[in-house]
Every structure is written in structure tokens, then in C-alpha cells.
Structure 1
Amino acid sequence: MTSMVENATSYIERAEEIKLLANDAFKANKFSQAIELYGQAIELNGLNAVYWANRAFAHTKLEEYGSAIQDATKAVELDPKYSKGYYRRGAAYLAMGKFKEALKDFQQVKKICPNDPDATKKLKECEKAVQKLRFEEAIAVQESERCSVADSIDFRCIDVEPQYTGARIEGEVVTLDFVKKMMEDFRNQKCLHKRYAYQIVLQAREMLRALPPLVDVTVPNGHHFTVCGDVHGQYFDLLNIFELNGLPSEENPYLFNGDFVDRGSFSVEVILTLFAVKCMCPTAMYLSRGNHESKSMNKIYGFEGEVRSKLSEMFVELFAEVFCCLPLAHLINGKIFVVHGGLFSVDGVKLSDIRTIDRFCEPPEEGLMCELLWSDPQPQPGRGPSKRGVGLSFGPDVTKKFLEENNLDLVVRSHEVKDEGYEIEHDGKLITVFSAPNYCDQMGNKGAFIRFAAPELKPDIVSFSAVPHPDVKPMAYANNFLRLFS
């Protein structure tokens, strides 16, 4: 009997030691390592609510909000009076834009800690967000009845003041000289005149709207093509990509695979640069929609606030409209399938199914379009729930089958931070590429891009480190309550 008690005690002590190691990993921003260590502590002592809540927090840091909610729920089941469990779950709900669920959790925190000023403040912010949401829902017009804001804008009527010294578009054509001058102005933190910003965004809209949901890209023999992953408003790292790999041109084309905006605080500069290059030379710049090219994400993660601050309210509506025109995937020489998120919850999806998706809408909560933007690979076979709480996780067998059925060689996707800027998975049949180094100024990761040269189309992956940027923190324009939690 004594030895059983001693065993239990030693498990509990060992779990505590591992928890301290996990805490250290967390403080060093090594969130994956922290998750693994908290998991080991849970295996030794699964009845300690603190371990579950701590692991939930680490999941939140990796944007794995689905897993965070599961862990925090376990914490409050183990200890219904544990305020941190509700707090962690509320924060994860907030990050997913689920304000009403978040509100319930913060009300619970306030009930348990009535005198905690921090809990009071966060509850107030959450109540404000829910009220605003209810108001927006009440006045929202059905998408089918909504007039296009783009059709109501005539940029030609906007005068440019004589004292404006920034980049100018002469007439209708966006030239390389204009793009270079605009990029240099942005580097020096100068703004582009609204007239030209409207002109670029409206022209880009026309081009994107004319494209199919799945764009076929042809790379002739002896030529190359570069694929970049998430840039997330990190403008100075975007400039560095162009310095390392050359400016986009017909001879040096790029595909940016979604998540151009949000989190980083130079999203306006990033999106105007990418759109301007698209206008200058449509075959120099291909753009795919990411899960962050959507109203719900932009409201929370900074793009909407940044657009209001640097441009105007009208531009908020305009960008939302243009994002709905972005294609969902690209096919390089009929062999390489490039998409922001990943594959599907059902077998048998053909390229022809993707070609018929009606994409001109905000991303739905389920179905093919949602999965293209949100899914992630997993190492084990089959399919599993998404750690993000949206989309799903798919295994190597799912990738293999999709490639075989569509006569493809490779899936390239983005959507996840990787230490080296990329990761090769699923028996070499799937590559993740992520192009925002030192993501959010705290992850310490490298960025990467992939060059494919025809005819072989072998992936040549280049990793790069972050470069300095002006002292504007990530999420500087993000929703107020979200900043409270970061």
C-alpha cells in the first residue's frame, strides 16, 4: 500500500518538475516544445487543471484555438472554480471571433474573481464587442442585396494637392517606375495618395474578378516561378524577398499564397504593393486567397483598423469586396497544386470541382472553399479535427490519394509558421512554405520561398531571416480587446 502512495507522490512530483520546464519553454517563445512538455505532465497527473490551462495558453500562441478550447474546457471540468480555465477559453473564443461564447466565459471569471480589475476590464471590452456585433447584425444587408462599393467610386474625380510629393500614376497605366517609387515611399513610411490607392485597388479588382477559382499557370522550359507563403503585413520582409530573389516581372513571376494582411502593422503597404505589381504586369504576380483575406479576420487582427487609420472607412468595404475576387488555388504546369490551407474532408475531390466553386463571398464555415483556406496536414493517416477549430487535419494517405486521382506530383501550401520557413511532409508530397520571418516579432522563425524551374519543377527552397522594421509593433491596429490578451 505504502509503495502505491509513494508511486503516486513521485508521479505528482515529476509532473511538477516537467511543468516548470514547460513554463521555461513557454517564456522562451518555444510554444511547440511547451505543448509537448505540458502533455508529458498531463500524462503523469491528468487531474491538475493548471497543466491543461497552461497548455491551452501555448496552443493559443500557435493560433491553435480549437485545441486551446478543448484543453481549457478540460481544466474547468476538473476545477469549476478555476478562473484561469475560463479566462483561457474566453481568450481562444475571442481569437476565433466567437464573441458571444467568450462573453459567457468572462462573466464566469468575474463571478469567481469579483474584485479583479483585470477581469472587469476584459469583461467590459467583451461586452462592447458583443453589442457592436449585435448592432452590425441588425443593420447588415443581405449580400445579394448589397450594392458594390467599387461601382460607386470614381477615382478620377479626386484631386491631388500640389504639395503631394509621393508616387504618381500618369493616366491609366501603372508603370514599373511608379511601383519602385511607391515602394521606396513606403519604405520611408510615406503614404500613397488616396486617388492612386483607389486606382490600384479598383484595377486589381477587375483583373482578379475575371480569373477562375483555380488558376492554371504555365512555366515554359528554361523559365522559373517563385511561390511565397504568408507575409502577414511584414512589409520590410517583403522588400527583402524582392532583394534576394529579384523584383517581380514577366521573366521573374511570383505567386503569393494568401495571408498578405493582418497581424503585421504594414499590411496596407503590403497589399498595395502586391496589387500594384498585378496591375503593372498581370503575369508577374499571382495572388491566392488566404483565411485572413476575410472580413471576420480583418476585424480582429488589425487590417481593418490599419486601413481606417491610413486610408478611410470606404477602403475597408472596398478591400473586403476585392478579397472576395481572389482565386482559391493555382496549378503549375498541371502538376503542382498550390493552395493556402489544404485538402478536404471527403475523398474524390477533383480539380474540376474546385473550378466550379462560387468564390465571390465571405469564406463559409464548412465545405470545399472553407477547407482550401483553413485545413492543415497531420503526420498520422486519415483525418482528424482541426487544431484551429475550423477546417480539418488530413494525413499523408489523403494527400497521396488526391494527387493520384488528379494526376499531380505535389501539394504546396502555407498557413502555418515553420522554424525554417518551410517543412516537407507526407513522404515528400506536401511542402508548407511561410514567408513571415520572426512572425509577430516573437517567434524567431525564418521565412522561406520556393523556386520551381521548368521542365523538372524541382523545389529549390530558400530560407531567410527577418530584417529590421520601424518601431511599430505587430497588432498595433488590432481590435482593442485582442491586444489586451496578447
Structure 2
Amino acid sequence: MVEVTEEVQKAEEYKAQANKNFKDKHYAAAVVGYTQAIELRPDYAIYWANRAAAHIRLEEYGSAIADATQAIEADPDYIKGYYRRGDANFALGKFKDAIKDLRTAAKRAPRDPDLRHKLSECEKAVKRIRFEEALATPESEITHVSDTIDLESMAVEESYSGPRMQEDGEGGYALTRDFVVAMMEEFKAQRLIHKRFAFQILLEARKLLRDLPSLVDIPVAPEGHITVCGDVHGQYYDLLNIFDLNGLPSADNPYLFNGDFVDRGSFSVEVIFTLLAWKVLEPSCIHLSRGNHESHSMNKMYGFDGEVKAKYSGLMLDVFREVFNWLPLAFVISDKVLVLHGGLFSRDDVSLDDLRKVHRNQEPPEDGLMCECLWSDPAPQPGRQLSKRGVGLQFGPDVTKAFLEKNGLELVVRSHEVKEEGYEVAHDGRLITVFSAPNYCDQMGNKGAFVRFNGADMVPHFTTFEAVPHPDVKPMAYASSFLNYMM
């Protein structure tokens, strides 16, 4: 029996308020409340496990694992400690670690149906990985799927009533602005384009991207401008709203979309085809950087894999993977602004030339410059810390300042994190986070934002916007059922 001291009573009050914030989907506020409770009762497992759950909702899986571990240390019989740690490890793709905790939890609660389902999904994932490893082909012997696609064999049937590319007189087709605009309307009406045209967009995009360096320089004339958008995450109708607010892409109205085009939202196919089609139509009108979700492991769990197979085919998914591997990792705008999806690096000596030379035609590694480009996050405190996500690192304002000074830059723009107002200025004005998926996953209540830079001064100008209605297809509709049990 715990003595109800003033300290215990206050901790329970903090927990009750944090629980309310969690229920109302204010997860960052919930973390604060659970932290206050933990400070008063650090040996109470429930507070640690509850904070782990809030970190999971914020996609801070590294912090969730640390908190769940503390819960287990405080009470080795507390089932939710193992449950939460298993959830976080699964979300990071660490299926073998997840299985250990879920099996331990299952022994303590053998009749819990959610737990049995999660354990089954985790075991399937491990079997799938072992199967893929057994079939793995040495890199020197790999045949690229894109090189085997025969567009001419894909006849466009007379019965197909959707938008058609312009015939080129030689049995082929050419992409036009009219087609891209009609395609966007087709997607808006929840219809797809013919696979012949879809594959052509992919193959032409791959060819364009393959010729780019890993860091791309974008000049902006003094009288010109460029708009930088953050994560879109399959929220196609919010992407259309961005174009309504800021105009369609063109050579005079260019965009840079900063990664995480797909996953989570259930219209990722529509988003990525729209962005790639504009890129193919006029390469200077849109620039696309790679996010951590343009990867095989993330797509298998968070929905893009299942969505492409449902709407087209597994063959198309293989081509998407090859396209994603050629997306640049970073951009420098007008020699002043570095744009990349995640953040900065574990080393002080990283130069822009180092980024240009990164070998990117691969799935993201677990460490190194490419990993940090895609996964790192800023932190308010100086120095470098372990990542709250469990991948990459956290870097402080001193790291940002030193990197900018070393490379003659003025500003870092990154994405990768939900922000309530759609953007956040940090690190003494030297770092901006921009996130363009409002009401993320239909539950976060955040605004979206984009940033416009005028070439004359490269000062950031922010536009925020609310989510718009979309058809009744829930986020994560194509994701791993394990993750839907976590939502």
C-alpha cells in the first residue's frame, strides 16, 4: 500500500492532467505532465510507461524505448513496460528486439487479443526478413527492374477513359502540362491513371534524378523566388490546397518539397505521381529531396508498400524503390540556405563537398552522413545527444552555428517533425523546421506551412494553412496492422 503523501498526491494530479492531454491528442503536453510526475515518483513504472506511449505518438521511438526500459526496471512485472518497448522497436523496424518484449508480455497476459495480434505480426516480419535475406542477390549481379520495363507492351485500351499523354507520332507518348493538370483532377476524383503513363513518369523521373549530385545547388534570381514545403505524407488533398494557395509549379514559381512525400496518409500514390510528373515536365519547376520515408523499410510498415500494390502492382513498387534511391539528399539555395529533410551531423568537419560525394543509391544506412541527413533532429541544448527517435542524433544551436560558419551559409531548413503552427524557428534564428501535412494523420490538429524565399534577400516568409476535407479513407489504411493497433 503506497502512503498517500503530498508528493504522491501531486504526482497523481500531474498524471491525471497528462492523461487528459493524451486523450485530447496533445502528446507533447502529455510528455511534460508525465515528466513532472516522474520527477516526484521516479520509481513508479506507470508514469514511465505512460510517457513512453506519448513518445510513440510523437514518433520519438528512441525516447519511448528508454522510458519503457525505466518502467521495466522499476517493476519487472509491469506488462505495459514490455508492451511499449515492443511497440517502439517494431516502429523502428527492430523486429527481433520487439519479439523478445512482446513474448515476455504475452507470458504475463496470454489472453490479451491485441498483444497476440502484435506478436503474430512481428513474427511474420522476422520471417519475411529472413526470406528476403536468403534470396538477396550480390550487388554486382543486380538487374535493375526499371531497365526491364517495356512501355510499348503496355497498350492503352480504348475503354480507358482517363487522361492520356500526347502521342508523339512514333508509337510513344509525351508528357504535357495539360496531361499533368488532368491527372491531378483524376486523382482528386479518386481515379487512377493508366499504368502505361504511370510507368513512363517513373522511368523518366529516375533518369532525371540519376544525373543529379547528392547535394544540388539551386540559384534564385534577385527578381525570382522559391517555395519550400515540408512533409506531405500522402495527404493529397492538402497538397492540392498548397497549389491553390501558392500557385501551380512552373519555372517562375518553383517549389522544393523536402522529403516524406509518402506513407501514413492513404493517398501517397497520388502525391508522388503529382510531384514526379511536374519534375519530368519541367525539371526546374520542382525539386525533391529524400526523406526517411522514401525507403523500403518504412514503406513496408507505414503504408506506401500496401498502397502501391493495391492500386497498381508489386512491379511498380520495385520501380519506386529505384526512383527513391536516386532522390538528392540536400539542396543549397542561392549559396545561403541548406535544405535537407532531417538535420546536421555527428562530426564538426562536414563540408558541402562531403555531402555532394555521398553515395545515395541505396537504402538508408543506420549511421553516417546519409542517415543523419534523413533522421537527425535539432535540440535546444548545446552539443550533441542521442536521438529521441533511436536513429540519427540530436544537435544543438552551437552545432548549427558552427556548420553554417564553416560552409559560408546563413540558414538550415529542415522538416521531419510535426509543429503545431506548421513551422518553427530555432537555434537563434539559424534553423527552420517546416511541416506541410496539417492535422497529421487526421489526429494531431496541427497547421501546415510552407516557406517562401525571395531571391533578392532570401528572407523566409511563412504561410500557414489548415487541413482540408478528404474522402473517407483513413490514414494508415494500407499500413501494417501492427501499427494501426498503436494508433
TM-score (norm 1): 0.98
Helix, strand or coil for the counterpart of 1:463? Answer: strand
User: Residue 346 of structure 2 aligns with which residue?
Assistant: 345
User: Residue 149 of structure 2 aligns with which residue?
Assistant: 153
In 1, Cα distance between the equivalents of 2:316 and 2:138? 20
* Aligned residue identity for 2:118: K
Q: Is the 8 A contact 1:336 1:412 kept in 2?
A: yes
User: Residue 424 of structure 1 aligns with which residue?
Assistant: 425
Q: Is the 8 A contact 2:114 2:485 kept in 1?
A: no
User: Residue 45 of structure 2 aligns with which residue?
Assistant: 49
Aligned length: 481
Identity, % of aligned positions: 62
Q: Is the 8 A contact 1:173 1:280 kept in 2?
A: no
* 1:214, distance to aligned residue in structure 2 (A): 0.6
Unpaired segments ≥5 residues, structure 2: none
* 1:145, distance to aligned residue in structure 2 (A): 2.4
In 2, Cα distance between the equivalents of 1:358 and 1:118? 41
* 1:136, distance to aligned residue in structure 2 (A): 1.6
* Aligned residue identity for 1:307: V
What are the within-5 Å matches in structure 2 for residues 302-317 of structure 1? 302-317=303-318
In 1, Cα distance between the equivalents of 2:438 and 2:355? 31
Q: Is the 8 A contact 1:437 1:466 kept in 2?
A: yes
Moved over 6 A (4+): none
What are the within-5 Å matches in structure 2 for residues 58-137 of structure 1? 58-137=54-133
Q: Is the 8 A contact 1:307 1:316 kept in 2?
A: yes
* 1:115, distance to aligned residue in structure 2 (A): 2.7
* Aligned residue identity for 2:78: Y
* 1:131, distance to aligned residue in structure 2 (A): 1.5
In 1, Cα distance between the equivalents of 2:219 and 2:415? 21
In 2, Cα distance between the equivalents of 1:118 and 1:219? 53
* 1:26, distance to aligned residue in structure 2 (A): 0.2
* 1:155, distance to aligned residue in structure 2 (A): 1.2
Q: Is the 8 A contact 2:117 2:482 kept in 1?
A: no
Helix, strand or coil for the counterpart of 1:141? Answer: coil
* 1:130, distance to aligned residue in structure 2 (A): 1.6
Root-mean-square deviation (CA), in Å? 1.1
Unpaired segments ≥5 residues, structure 1: none
Alignment of 1:16 with 2:17, yes or no, is: no
* 1:129, distance to aligned residue in structure 2 (A): 1.9
User: Residue 269 of structure 2 aligns with which residue?
Assistant: 268
* 1:142, distance to aligned residue in structure 2 (A): 2.9
What are the within-5 Å matches in structure 2 for residues 315-326 of structure 1? 315-326=316-327
In 1, Cα distance between the equivalents of 2:469 and 2:140? 44
Alignment of 1:196 with 2:197, yes or no, is: yes
In 2, Cα distance between the equivalents of 1:398 and 1:97? 29
Q: Is the 8 A contact 2:254 2:285 kept in 1?
A: yes
Alignment of 1:292 with 2:293, yes or no, is: yes
Q: Is the 8 A contact 2:95 2:122 kept in 1?
A: yes
Q: Deviations over 1:407-451 (max 9, x none)?
A: 101000000000000000000000000000000000000000001
Q: Deviations over 1:346-396 (max 9, x none)?
A: 101111111111111111100011001100000011010000000000000
* 1:337, distance to aligned residue in structure 2 (A): 0.5
In 2, Cα distance between the equivalents of 1:436 and 1:117? 33
Q: Is the 8 A contact 1:26 1:34 kept in 2?
A: yes
